[in-house]
Amino acid sequence: MTTQTKPFFYKNKLTVAISTAIMGLSINAYAADEEAKPDDNAFEQIVVTGSVGGRTQIESAIAVTSIDDEVIQNFKPNSEVELFRLIPGIQANGGNGPGGNANIAVRGLPVATGGSPFVQIQEDGLPTVLFGDMQFGNNDYWTRFDASTARVESVRGGTATTFASQAPGAIINYISHTGEVEGGYVGLSTGIGYDEKRVDFRYGGSASDSVLYHVGGYMKTGRGPLDDGFNTSESMQVKANITKYLEDDESYVRFYLKVADTQEPFYTGSLAYANISGNKISNVRPYPGMDGRSASNFSTLNQSFLIVNNEGGVERVNMSGITTEALALGNEVHYVLEHDIVVDNKMRWTDMSGGFTEPFHGPGVTANVIGSTVNGAVVDQIRYANGPMAGELYEQPYIDTNTNVFTNISDVGSFVNDLTISKEFNLDGSILNARVGYFYMNQKIAMDWHTNRNFREAGSSNPAQLDLFDAAGNQLTANGLAGFNDNWGDCCARDYDLEYTNTAPYVALELELDEFILDGSVRRDTVDASGYTVQSSGNAFDTIIDGVAIPTLLPDGKEEYPDYSESYTSYTFGGLYKFNEDTSFFARASKGNRFNSDRQTVSGKINPDGSLTQAGRVAAVDEVNQYEVGVKNRGEMGEADYTVEFTLLKGDFTQSNYEPTSTPACPNGGCILDNEYRTTGFEFYGTMRWSALSVIANATYTDAEQKPNGGTWGPANDIPELTYAITSQYEFSQEISVGLNMSGQYGNRNGAGVETENKPIFGGNIAYRPTNNLEFAIIGQNLTDEFALRGLSGVVDASNNVISAQPVLGRNLSASVKLLF
Q: What is the pLDDT of residue 760?
A: 94
Q: Identify which has the larger pLDDT, 12 or 556.
A: 556
Q: Are strands 341-359 and 233-245 parallel, antiparallel or unpaired?
A: unpaired
Specify the range with the lowest mean pLDDT, choosing from 81-95, 192-206, 421-435.
81-95
Q: What is the pLDDT of residue 781?
A: 94
Using CA atoms, how far apart are residues 238 and 216, in angstroms rounded to an integer? Answer: 6
Residue 161's CB is within 10 A of a number of other CB atoms, namely: 31
DSSP letter at 28 equals H
Q: What is the pLDDT of residue 28?
A: 36
Residue environment code for 213-252, b if the CB has 16+ CB neighbours within 10 A, otherwise e: bbbbbbbbbbbbbbbbbeebbbbbbbbbbbbebeeeeebb
Strands (E), 602-659: 621-637, 640-659
| pLDDT tens digits, 578-626 | 999 999 999 999 999 999 999 999 988 999 999 999 989 988 999 999 9
Q: What is the pLDDT of residue 111?
A: 84
Q: What is the pLDDT of residue 39?
A: 42
Residue 16 has pLDDT above 60, yes or no: no
User: Under CATH, domain 8-820 is a member of which superfamily?
Assistant: TonB-dependent receptor, beta-barrel domain (2.40.170.20)
Q: What is the pLDDT of residue 54?
A: 74
Using CA atoms, how far apart are residues 674 and 622, in angstroms rounded to an integer? Answer: 11
Q: What is the pLDDT of residue 42?
A: 63
Residue 670 has pLDDT above 80, yes or no: no
Q: 257, 241 in Cβ contact below 8 A?
A: yes
Residue 127 has pLDDT above 80, yes or no: yes
Residue 611's CB is within 10 A of a number of other CB atoms, namely: 13
Residue 796 has pLDDT above 50, yes or no: yes
Residue 35 has pLDDT above 70, yes or no: no
Q: What is the pLDDT of residue 669?
A: 58
Spatial CA neighbour of 416 closest among 118, 49, 128, 141? 128
Residue 332's CB is within 10 A of a number of other CB atoms, namely: 21
Residue 514's CB is within 10 A of a number of other CB atoms, namely: 9
Q: Is the full-model pTM beyond 0.95?
A: no
CA-derived radius of gyration, the chain: 27
Specify the range with the lowest mean pLDDT, choosing from 46-50, 140-144, 194-198, 496-500.
46-50
Q: What is the pLDDT of residue 7?
A: 34
Residue 693 has pLDDT above 90, yes or no: yes
- The predicted model gives 381-400 an average pLDDT of 98
| C-alpha distances in Å from residue 443, one per residue of 276, 343, 525, 529 | 46, 25, 15, 10
DSSP string for residues in 727-773: EEEEESSSSEEEEEEEEEEE-EE-TT-PEEP---EEEEEEEEEEETT
Q: 570, 525 in Cβ contact below 8 A?
A: yes
Q: What is the pLDDT of residue 41?
A: 61
Domain ranges of the chain: 8-820
| C-alpha distances in Å from residue 45, one per residue of 66, 164, 396, 740 | 8, 21, 58, 25
- Residue 59 sits at φ, ψ, to 5 deg, of -100, 0
Q: 241, 214 in Cβ contact below 8 A?
A: yes
Q: What is the pLDDT of residue 655?
A: 75
Rounded to the nearest integer, the mean pLDDT of the chain is: 91
Residue 101 burial (C-beta neighbours within 10 Å; 0-12, 13-18, 19+): buried
Strand partners for 498: 445, 531
Q: 673, 112 in Cβ contact below 8 A?
A: yes
- The predicted model gives 649-654 an average pLDDT of 91
Q: Where are the alpha helices (DSSP H) in 585-687?
A: 614-619
DSSP letter at 668 equals T
Spatial CA neighbour of 290 closest among 370, 453, 395, 400? 400
Spatial CA neighbour of 385 closest among 484, 451, 455? 455
Residue 625 burial (C-beta neighbours within 10 Å; 0-12, 13-18, 19+): middle
Confidence of residue 657 (pLDDT cuts 50, 70, 90): low
Q: Identify which has the larger pLDDT, 426 or 793.
A: 426
Residue 24 has pLDDT above 60, yes or no: no
DSSP letter at 465 equals B
Confidence of residue 11 (pLDDT cuts 50, 70, 90): very low
- The predicted model gives 733-759 an average pLDDT of 89
| C-alpha distances in Å from residue 77, one per residue of 443, 487, 726, 743 | 29, 33, 13, 11
| pLDDT tens digits, 401-440 | 999 999 999 999 999 999 999 999 999 889 999 999 999 9
Q: Identify which has the larger pLDDT, 23 or 142.
A: 142
- The predicted model gives 716-724 an average pLDDT of 90
Residues 6 or more apart whose CB falls under 8 angstroms from that of 373 comprise 379
Q: What is the pLDDT of residue 752?
A: 79
Residue 363 has pLDDT above 90, yes or no: yes
Residue 25 has pLDDT above 50, yes or no: no
Q: 812, 784 in Cβ contact below 8 A?
A: no
Strand partners for 653: 624, 677
Q: What is the dihedral of CA 267, 745, 642, 679, to 10 degrees?
A: 110
**Among residues of the chain, what percentage have pLDDT more than 70?**
92
| pLDDT tens digits, 269-326 | 999 999 999 889 999 999 999 999 999 999 999 999 999 999 999 999 999 999 999 9
- CA–CA–CA angle 468, 472, 475 (5° rounding): 30
- The predicted model gives 523-542 an average pLDDT of 97
Q: What is the pLDDT of residue 688?
A: 96
- The predicted model gives 46-50 an average pLDDT of 84
